Amino acid sequence: MKPIVAVIAPGMMGSVVAKRLTENGIEVRTRLTGRGAATLQRARDAGMADATDDQLAACDIILSIVPPGEALGLAEALAPAMSRAERKPIYVDCNAVAPDTVRGIAAVVQASGAIFVDGGIIGPPPEPDSKNTRIYLSGPDAAKVTVLEQYGLSTPVQPGPIGAASAMKMSYAGITKGFTALGAAMMLAATRAGTADALIAEMTISQPALLGWLTRAMPRMHSKAYRWVAEMEEIADFVGKDPAGAQFYQAAARLYERIAADFDGPNVETAMLDAFCAKKG
């Protein structure tokens, strides 16, 4: 029997994860109440069906794919329906949250009688037959979710308890998105100082790979910055025993907060970043 899967929510990542599943014959349910036109269109394009909380709780597997700040709230919202469900689902938190946060989410889910698996997504929204996107899984029931390998997803099991997959995600995102924040700060500083052209010329000679990575990543960051605020705060919690490290990621959160506001408003700093990247050619 093919599993029935809930994917919440149909955002940029969740909708493409859902599409991989529906293209492979899986029924995918989601929550669409109160969602905007763009979200509704993504859900339609992915073949997702709107469902009540009880219908979501009746699924075999629930994949929680929401902004980090909404992860606990989603588990709490679905807990009553999962408590009522005769056959308990497997609830996979796939969000960019710290191990301590995911253990709190696990406590809510397990109190409902549902099975909890820790997850962490690394990579872009998954393309067909692509192994560039992996949903790392951990915890004693992680192997139960690897059935999704048969239906278009890559789901490696990360050895360790609940929290191990989230630790992997925090470590990876701390490098990639932390590095993007560092690059953005210096691109803006160089532009304000009038040295952007000189910086690009030097990096073209001495750091071509680094320059290429930054100028490819930066334009894609603007629309995601609002989601990365809470993610940086979760990473700050993850490295909390290192005060300097925690302060670095709190500062990165504030930078992404500012970029997100600029992207939705005057587009001053985002335009500066785009101009810097365009200079590379």
85 and 220 Cβ atoms separated by less than 8 Å:
no
Name the residue ranges covered by the structural domains of the chain.
5-162, 167-280
Fold (topology level) of 5-162: Rossmann fold (3.40.50)
Q: What is the DSSP letter of 201?
A: H
- The beta strands (E) that lie in 162-271 are given as none
CATH architecture of 167-280: Orthogonal Bundle (1.10)
pTM for the full predicted model: 0.93
Query: pLDDT per residue over 94-118, tens digit each?
Result: 999 999 999 999 999 999 999 999 9
Contact 236, 257 (CB under 8 A): no
Q: What local confidence, expressed as pLDDT, does residue 128 receive?
A: 76
**Could you say which DSSP state residue 59 is in?**
S
What span, in angstroms and rounded, lies between the C-alpha atoms of 136 and 22?
21
Q: How far apart, in whole angstroms, are the C-alpha atoms of residue 232 and residue 96?
A: 9
**pLDDT at position 130:** 65
- What pLDDT is stored for residue 280 in this prediction? 81
